[in-house]
Copies of this chain bind each other. A is one copy, B any other.
Amino acid sequence: MTTVATKPRNKPATADKIARAARRLLERDGVEGVTMRRVASAVGITPMALYRHYANRDGLLNVLADGGFAELSGRLDTLRLAGAPERQLVKVLDVFLDFAFDDPRMFELMFLTKREGARRFPEDFKSGNSPTANLFARVLTQGMETGHFAKDDVWEIVFETGALLQGLVMLYLGGRVSMRPEEFRAFCHRSFRRYIDGIRS
């Protein structure tokens, strides 16, 4: 074989195929549906081959979650934020809700599942490691400077707003809310409004 033009070690290729297959399984069957055997079978390899590319199942799930955060971050970047800070915050909220509605399983993995290597409060927030938290903090800070919000600990508010949103969506995705998506969105808007009214000066 004179085969000179060999593929230059397509190591990332299979790793990518694995991630894609896992992603599809996640979307369809949820976190618990992402089993090593199913992923391997979807890719067409043996389960143990997965371990050449990912340390273990948690490692694979972490990569999936990272992809989710990247996509969410991308969506937030497309936001053209302007107008009153209150409206800006609601826009951010809507991006989160859209994401949760579009890909509930991914949202579940990202926020509602215990995972190693997740961000910690407050250090990982203040260090600017979380783009979504950064965006939120920027809007809040700006709102405080312009007098729309009472001066307070920005990071605490970022964290607790995230907690409120996470709690609401967790309950919704967990099937504990008898509302259709748009009803629930309206409810979240009211809830957010109540909260914002509290921090407005």
Question: Which residues on A are within 8 Å of B, measured CB to CB?
Answer: 114, 118-123, 152, 156-157, 159-160, 162-168, 170-171, 174-179, 187, 190-191, 194-199
How many copies the complex holds: the figure is: 2
The residue that A156 contacts in the complex, of B122, B171, B190, with Cβ under 8 A, is: B190
Q: Sorted from nearest, which 3 A-B pairs have the closest CB atoms?
A: A198-B198, A167-B167, A163-B167
The residue that A160 contacts in the complex, of B118, B160, B191, with Cβ under 8 A, is: B191
* Majority SS at the chain A contact face: helix
The residue that A174 contacts in the complex, of B114, B159, B179, with Cβ under 8 A, is: B114
Check if B160 sits within 8 Å of A168, measured CB to CB.
Answer: yes
Check if B118 sits within 8 Å of A174, measured CB to CB.
Answer: yes
B-chain residues with CB within 8 Å of residue A176 when the two chains form the complex? 118-121
Cα distance A64–B153 in the bound complex, in angstroms: 39
Q: Can you add 11 more A-B contacts, CB < 8 Å, to A194-B199, A197-B199?
A: A121-B176, A121-B177, A121-B179, A160-B194, A162-B167, A163-B164, A163-B191, A165-B167, A195-B198, A196-B198, A198-B199
Sampled A-B contacts (28; CB under 8 Å) = A114-B174, A118-B174, A118-B175, A120-B176, A120-B177, A120-B178, A121-B171, A122-B178, A156-B187, A156-B191, A159-B171, A160-B164, A160-B194, A162-B167, A163-B164, A163-B167, A163-B168, A163-B170, A163-B191, A166-B167, A167-B168, A194-B198, A194-B199, A195-B195, A195-B198, A197-B199, A198-B198, A198-B199
